[in-house]
Amino acid sequence: MKELGLLNYFLGISVTSSPSGYILSQPKYASEILAKAGIHDCKPYSSLMATKVVLPEMDSSFSHPSLYRSLVGALQYLTLTRPDLSFTVNYLCQFLQNPLNSHFSAVKRLLRYLKGTLSHGLHFTSGPLVLNAFSDSDWAGSALDRRSTTGYCVFLGPNLISWCAKKQPTVSRSSSEAEYRALAQVSAELSWLRMLFVELHVSVAVPTLWCDNLSAIALAHNPVFHARTKHIEVDYHFVREKVAAKKLAICHIASTDQIADILTKPLSVSRFQYLQGKLLVFPTSLSLRGLLSIMLRMRLKLTLQQLHQQH
């Protein structure tokens, strides 16, 4: 190992330090994606995806599928510092085998949005070693196979350290089932993170998992297993054991405050920008005073939520 000084640039990720912490961004890498697509001088777009995705049944295949696969594959690496793009990139990845012209149009729309947000990056700052996770699901959101999309994000203090936007492998028969499958997935992620912290000899309190579905929360706390939910028995027992052993606390949160909503469905511009700020994805040119103000508001909100849970 060698001491190479302060980290500035590594594997396409630019690291900028400030008195408040660090900013991870990929402006150079994102510009290279735009150049590869041949739209480096395009006009920016205000939103990255239409709120209602309609796939035309008679749409023709895209003439250059290798270009589509190359661009979407490159965008996957960009989500390392841009979690706000995760849902759209995951959606585009579902058509790698046979992309249509409408799919490539969606890629160009995403790239036009990217053009206007090249300076955006993920911010990290010091904070308490407290794990908070947000879990959400878009029930039967896929118009093709009616499978649901799981979305979750995990915060260590005020910092986002893990997130996911993924289509569920099976069709859920109810919104409660879709939400409970999402709970099981983020519970497994929290279990792995706690084991990692134990290996690092870092003490972390019992994580709190926030969900906006009351039925899923009741199912996690109620030991009675209803007949209508027997087909998700494996996920039920996994989450139930964590709750019973007091290794996980599941609490309700209003849908308007559900941060993971950005990872499950297309949103309006105002809603998307609101949740984007909650993920701490900001322009690198954001003033230090504005950034500190946002950090303090988020930390205050987490503290109030913890006090509410205790009482």
Q: Note whether residue 194 is domain-resident.
A: yes
Full DSSP string of 145-210? T---EEEEEEEETTEEEEEEEEE-SS--SSHHHHHHHHHHHHHHHHHHHHHHHHHTT---PPPEEE
- Regarding whether 247 and 223 lie in a shared domain, the answer is yes
In a domain, 101, yes or no: yes
Distance, CA of 260 to CA of 133 (rounded, Å): 9
Neighbours of 133 (CB within 10 A): 25
> Is the backbone of residue 124 left (phi > 0), alpha (psi -120 to 50) or beta?
beta
pLDDT at 8: 87
Q: How far apart are CA 263 and CA 133, in angstroms?
A: 13
DSSP tag of 43: P
**Which helix (H) or strand (E) covers residue 280, if one does?**
none
Tell me what pLDDT residue 223 has: 56
Same structural domain, 135 and 222: yes
Do residues 132 and 57 both lie within one domain? no
Claim to verify: residue 104 and residue 144 sit in the same structural domain = no
Q: Is residue 2 in a domain?
A: no
Residues 131 and 263 in one domain: yes
> Looking at the structure, do residues 115 and 152 belong to the same domain, yes or no?
no
160 with 67, same domain: the answer is: no
Residue-number span of the structural domain to which 47 is assigned: 9-121
Q: Are 152 and 266 part of one and the same domain?
A: yes
Q: Is residue 170 part of a domain?
A: yes
CATH number at residue 192: 3.30.420.10
The pLDDT value recorded for residue 145 is 82
Q: Which pLDDT value is given to residue 289?
A: 47
209 neighbors 258 (Cβ within 8 angstroms): no
Final residue in a domain of this structure, among 102, 121, 140: 121
DSSP H or E segment with residue 248:
none
Domain annotation covers residue 285: no
H or E segment to which residue 22 belongs:
strand 21-25
Same domain, 133 and 273: yes
Q: Are 286 and 70 in contact (CB under 8 A)?
A: no
Last residue of a domain, one of 95, 121, 147: 121
Place of tokens 């030991």: 223
**Do the domain assignments include residue 168?**
yes
Domain contains 86? yes
d(CA 132, CA 138): 21
What is the domain count for the chain? Answer: 2
- Is 21 in contact with 156 (CB distance < 8 Å)? no
Q: What is the pLDDT of residue 285?
A: 66
Which residue(s) pair with 123 in the sheet? 23
Q: How far apart are the C-alpha atoms of 114 and 128, rounded to whole Å?
A: 32
> Domain check: are 135 and 107 in the same one?
no
Is 190 part of any domain? Answer: yes
Mark whether 172 and 136 lie in a shared domain.
yes
Q: Which of 106, 121, 136 is the last residue of a domain?
A: 121
pLDDT by position in tens, the chain (length 311): 788 888 888 888 999 887 788 999 999 999 999 999 998 888 998 888 877 765 555 678 898 999 999 999 999 999 999 999 999 999 999 999 989 998 999 999 999 999 999 999 999 998 899 999 999 999 887 877 889 999 999 999 999 999 999 999 888 888 888 998 999 999 999 999 999 999 999 989 899 999 999 988 888 877 555 545 555 666 777 888 888 888 999 999 999 999 999 999 989 899 999 999 999 898 876 544 445 555 555 555 656 566 566 55
Identify whether residues 95 and 141 lie together within a single domain.
no
- What global pTM score does this model have? 0.83
Strands of 120-125's sheet, edge to edge? Answer: 9-10, 13-18, 21-25, 120-125, 281-283
